[in-house]
Each structure stands twice: as C-alpha cells, then as structure tokens.
Amino acid sequence: MISIQSLLGAAEQGLIYSLVAMGLYISYRVLEVADLTTDGSFTLGAACSACLATTGNPLLGLLMAFVGGVLAGAVTAFLQTVCKIQPILAGIITMTGLYSINLIVMGNRQNLPLLKNSTLFTMVEEILGKQMGGLVAAGAAALLVAGFLVWFLSTQLGLMVRAAGNNPTMLVTCAVSPAIGVVTGLCLANGIIALSGGLLAQQQKFSDSNLGTGMVVVGLASLIIGETIVGKGKTFRSVVGILVGSVVYRIIIALALRSNLGASNLKLVSAVIVAIAISLPAIRSAWEVHKRKKEAAAGA
Amino acid sequence: MLDIRSLTKIFATQPQKAALNGLNLQVQKGEFVTVLGSNGAGKSTLFHAIAGEFFPDEGQILLEGKNITFQAAHQRSRFIGRVMQDPMKGTVPAMTVAENLALAEHKGIKGKKLFSSITKSQKEQFQEKLALLGLGMEDKLEQPVGLLSGGQRQALTLLMATFQQPKLLLLDEHTAALDPATAEKVMQLTQAVIEQHNITTLMITHNLAHSLAFGNRTILMDKGKIVMDVQGDQRKAYTPQLLMEQFHQLAGEETTTSQQSFALL
C-alpha cells in the first residue's frame, strides 16, 4: 500500500512539523489561546533560514529563524498584554503584518530556491548518506526541542507560563504578573514554530511566502491525533504524543496523496480532521445524553 | 498598619450606588478583624480594593505608612496574602501540589530561580508543611490540584498565602463553599497559622458566631461604609443574638433575614 521509502519520507516530514505541534502545545494547550501568529511565524522561519542559507550560513539561518519567531511572538504578546487586544485578533494582526515582512526577508520575492546551497540536511547527508541523513537530522532536531520543552515546563519560568494559562488569578497572588507567562509562552511557541519552518525550507530546498498558510490547523491536527493515540497527561506524555501524532498525520497525508484525493485537497482533509477531533467530546456527551434519554423512556 | 482613608468607588454598571462610600478603616498590627455585612454591602469590594484588583475613584490605601493606592495587584501580593471563597481560584488545577507550592514559595520574580526545577529538598520541605495541615496531602505532592477536594484546596491556598509571612492576610468567606466539618477544620488551621505568626488579618464571614469567636475586632459594613466597629471588652459582651439585632437596626431593610438567621444555627 505504501512503500518504505515514502514511510521514511513521511517520518522525516512529520518530525520537522512536530515542532509546529510543540509550539501549539505551548500556546493552545498550556496558555489556552489559539495563536494565529503561527502561520506567519512559520513562514518567517522559512524565509530567514533560506535567506541565510543562500549566503552559505544554513546553521546561522536556523538560529535566526528561531530568533525571528521569538520576536513575532513578542509582538503578539505585546498586543495581547499591553494593548489588551483579544488573543485571536492579536495573532491575526501579527500574521498579516508578517506577510509583508516575509516578502522583504526573501528580497521581495514570492519564493527562494536553495537548489545548490548547502543546508543542515545536505551536511548531515554527507556524513550519514542520503538514505538516513535527512531522517537523523529531523529526528535530532525534534528530540532536542522535545527534551527542552519537557525540561522548560518544569522550571519556575515554565510553571509561570502554565499558571498564566490555567489560572492567572493564582499567579497574581504569587506576586507574578500573568503577562510574564503570556510573553514567555508566546515567544517560545513562535520561536519553535519558526524553527520548524526554517528546517522545512532547508529540507525541501525552497522557501515560499505561502508556506505557512493553514499551519495552525496542521499543527492542531497532529497535536490532537497524538493525544488520541498516546493520551493526555504530564508534559512528557503529551510531547511523546506530539511526535507520534505528527508522523501519523504525515502518513495520512501521504496516503491521501496516493489516493485520488489530490494534493490540492489536503488542506480540506486537515480542516475536517481538526473539526471532528475538537468536536469529539461534544459529540460523545450528546450521544451519552441521547442514550440515557432512550433508556429513561424505555424504563418509564 | 493598614490605613484606609475616605475610599470611594462607583462602578459604571451601577452608577446610582457607591460600592465604597468614603470608607475609613485603621487596622493595628496583629489585629484580626472579622467583617460582617449583608450582600452588596461592599465587603468583597473593599477586599478587592485593598488587593489592587481595581483602583478607587477617591481616597487612599496605606500599608505600614506606604501609599499603595495605585500599586498593581501582583506587586501588592508580595506582602498581602489572600484566600478567596472559590476553592478553584487560589490554585492551578492542572499543576501538581508541589508545583503550586513552588510558585508560592517565593513571592515575585526576583526570589525565584527561573531556570531550575523543583529540588528534592524543596519537596521534603513541602511535605513537612503539608503534614502540619493534617489532611493527608503530604502523600499527594505529585497529584494535580484539580483532583483534591475543596477543603484540601482551601487549606493548600492558605498554606500558599502564608508561605512567606504576609503583612496582611485577606480571607474572603474562605470556608463558605465547604461542608460544615471541613469548614470547621479549615477555620482551625486558619486560626493556628494567624496566631503562630501574629499575622494582621481581615476576614469576611456570614457566620455571626464565627465573627465573635474568631479575631479581636468586628466591623459591620452597609452601603459601602463601616456602620459598627466593636473590640475589647465591648466586643466580649456581644452575643450572636445581640449582634443580629444590631445588624437589622444598622444594616436596614436590605438584610436578608433568612440568611442571617441560618448563620446563627
């Protein structure tokens, strides 16, 4: 049904995209806001990384992708905490502004190919061979960020981010402004998401100004698939779920590509997956009530 | 110690009625004041003003001589401890008991080691403190707070509020949402911690008996003002019945009689 080759390809892509889901884990699950900056910061990461790769500095490009994402997150956080703009709108504003900035970063071009440039992936492939190089590079990046996330959310600063999302009142009673948690969380989330964009640009050897469109939905789909398979719980379990979910999502996409769904319908598939997965609890409880009503009617 | 001068607040949603109406209150160091009043008298509004949840329209709040009228709420939390009525408000349900305590251990950002996780010695210290509460929470360090009972959560919040001895402790009907036995237990813990550290305390209660049994001063609020203030020998002569009569007389017709009678039982 699906070749080993395309399975490995899906795993590699899944591991790269898992960083988007990890970023969204911070904003959507920990801070409990749907942060639409994601679409823009992903593309910003791709643009920064591709731009510096063309000058022969792919690793610096990845670093700058992360830094760019952090700055994008800081802008959204500023709009939310200081300007008191609703979280969703704050994200949309930053995302819209980033579209122009991303074009500027890529030298006013819609896309930037990296066909002959050295990237993180070509560097690792030179050592480990074409077959495994890409997978190892993507896996190392994903595990590194996953490990960092598990550690970070257990530190005092990480606890502040978690409290800011779950109960800001408690944070105030601990003499910490909830804004600190929101700023830290959004900066880190978008930094990680931009790093994902940066890695993707170097892996597929091009960056495009529309690369990030719908990335929130893609990330949430991976996150939710992971939670369904591995379950929710402590950070460690959630992060394992994200890694699994991201790879499974890419396999689903690979299968969809092989069927007659066609590449142009992929976003629709992602949107449907997310809509169903997020509404599952509501559907489940409605079903329970329906069943009990029936039983009650039968008993009476 | 706490000096509140002609504090006034009118909310935009109720422009015809001042929530706080030129309120004056002086509290000495070590005093434990119980605060009575019918619903809407302004008790919680007073607490919110002291805690900094909103800024007053007029008047000043001084704590140990320092004007804190316009200080941000989270900055005041460094020296004002709070336990609210809702057991859900004081703790983070998704975090474990140990993680909640770690955030409360040092107030503010400066005291915290931002990039360190909870250490073993911290956990041992938390366990010792939890054991003193006598609610079996010392074995639940790794459990999410969301799984604790309301009483356990309030006791935990009390511990967190007094982890670093606050200059002022605000208790806003902190046992009202608990069953009678648990409420009694949390009240005992409260009494013990206040006496042990001699913490200046304000406590809102609807329980007339409690208002006399605990603390050393009782005030009655009505329409955003303090209408009765008793302490010392005068207070010792009070019975809940006498207090009830005064309550009706001073707090006027707005008093919900059934609720107050219930509190007497």
- Report the alpha-carbon distance of residue A199 to residue A140 in Å, rounded: 12
Q: How far is B233 from chain A (nearest CA, A)?
A: 36
Tens digit of pLDDT for each residue in B205-223?
998 889 999 999 999 999 9
Residue B121 CB-density burial (10 A; 0-12 exposed, 13-18 middle, 19+ buried): exposed
pLDDT of the residue at A186:
98
pTM: 0.91
* CB A107, CB A233: distance < 8 Å: no
CB atoms B103 and A167 under 8 Å = no
Question: Measured between CB atoms, does B116 come within 8 Å of chain A?
Answer: yes
Q: What is the pLDDT of residues A149-166, one digit of tens each?
A: 999 999 999 999 999 999
Helix A235-258 × helix A130-152 angle, to 10°: 150
- List, by residue range, all CATH 3.40.50.300 domains of chain B: 2-79+166-264
Q: Of A238, A213, A221, which Cα lies nearest the Cα of A278?
A: A221
Residues A163, B108: C-beta atoms closer than 8 Å: no
Confidence class for position B250, pLDDT limits 50, 70, 90: confident
Structure tokens at B148: 């604790």
Q: Please give, rounded to a whole number of angstroms, the shortest distance from the CA of B200 to a CA of chain A.
A: 17
What is the pLDDT, as a whole number, of residue B260? 47
Q: Count helices and strands (H / E) in chain B.
A: 10, 10
Q: Kindly report the nearest CA distance between residue B160 and chain A, in angstroms.
A: 8
Confidence at residue B255, expressed as pLDDT on a 0 to 100 scale: 45
Site from A173, A176, A234 to mutate, B interface, most B CB atoms within 10 angstroms: A173
Cα separation, A257 vs A261, whole angstroms: 6
Chain A residues close to B81, C-beta within 8 Å: 173
Mode of pairing for the β-strands spanning B2-9 and B20-27: antiparallel
Angle, helices A37-54 vs A4-24, to 10°: value is 120
pLDDT of the residue at A274: 80
Catalogue the E-assigned strands of A65-191. 111-113
The mean per-residue pLDDT over the stretch A30-45 comes to 96
- Partners of B116 on chain A (C-beta within 8 Å) are 155-156
pLDDT higher than 90, residue A66? yes
CB within 8 Å of B15: residues ≥ 6 apart? none
Contact A197, A44 (CB under 8 A): yes
What is the largest distance, in Å, between two alpha-carbon atoms of chain B? 58
Q: Which two tokens stand for residue A62?
A: 């990845």
For residue B120, pLDDT over 70 is answered with yes
| Structure-block tokens of residue A59 | 């690793």
Q: Does A96 touch chain B (CB under 8 A)?
A: no
What residues in A contact B77, CB-CB < 8 Å? 172-175
Identify the bridge partners of residue B3 per DSSP, sorted by sequence position: B26, B62
Locus of tokens 């910003």: A44
Domain boundaries in chain A? 4-210
| Rounded distance between C-alpha atoms, residue B102 and residue A175, angstroms | 13
Report the pLDDT value the prediction gives residue A258, as an integer from 0 to 100. 79
A62 close to A195: Cβ distance less than 8 angstroms: yes
Buried b (16+ CB within 10 A) or exposed e, A171-207: bbbbbbbbbbbbbbbbbbbbbbbbbbbbbbbbbbbbb
Nearest chain A alpha carbon to B112? A156
Q: Which residue has the tokens 């799984």?
A: B147
**B139 contacts: CB under 8 Å, gap ≥ 6:** none
Average pLDDT over residues B157-178: 94
Which superfamily is assigned to B2-79+166-264 in CATH? P-loop containing nucleotide triphosphate hydrolases (3.40.50.300)
The confidence score (pLDDT) of residue B252 equals: 61
**What are B234's strand-pairing partners?**
none
Among A45-54, A123-132, B160-169, B247-256, the range scoring the smallest mean pLDDT is B247-256
Does position B259 have pLDDT exceeding 70, yes or no? no
End-to-end CA distance of chain B: 35
Give the lowest-confidence range in A178-192, A257-271, B130-144, B165-179: A257-271
- Average pLDDT in the B154-170 region? 94
B110 near A CB under 8 A: no
> Sign of dihedral through CA atoms B154, B86, B172, B73?
positive
In one letter, which amino acid is B232? G
- If you average pLDDT over residues A80-97, what whole number do you get? 97
Residues 6+ apart with CB under 8 A from B248: B255, B257
Determine the Cα–Cα distance for residues A222 and A234; give it in Å rounded to an integer.
18
Residue of B104, B133, B102, B107 lying closest to B118 (CA atoms): B102
Q: How far apart are CA A216 and CA A28, in angstroms?
A: 10
| Mean pLDDT to the nearest integer, A224-247 | 92
| pLDDT one-digit tens code per residue, B219-239 | 999 999 999 999 988 999 888
Answer whether A268 touches B (CB < 8 Å): no
At B76, the pLDDT band (50, 70, 90 cuts) reads very high
Residues of A in contact with B78 (CB under 8 A): 175
**Is the pLDDT score of A86 beyond 50?**
yes
Residues A174-209 have pLDDT tens digits of 999 999 999 999 999 999 999 999 999 999 999 999
d(CA A62, CA A68): 10
CA angle, A147 as apex, A145 and A153 as ends, to 5°?
95
For chain B, say whether A150 makes contact (Cβ under 8 Å): no
To which H or E segment does residue B6 belong? strand B2-9
Q: Which is more confidently placed, B157 or B256?
A: B157
Residue A211's pLDDT is 93
| Local confidence band at A54 (pLDDT 50, 70, 90 cut-offs) | very high
Written as six digits, the tokens of A207 are 């960056």
pLDDT band at A277 (very low <50, low <70, confident <90, very high): confident
Q: State how beta strands B217-222 and B225-231 pair.
A: antiparallel
Residue A57 has pLDDT above 80, yes or no: yes
The predicted pLDDT at position B248 comes to 85
Q: Which residue has the tokens 């008790």?
A: B43
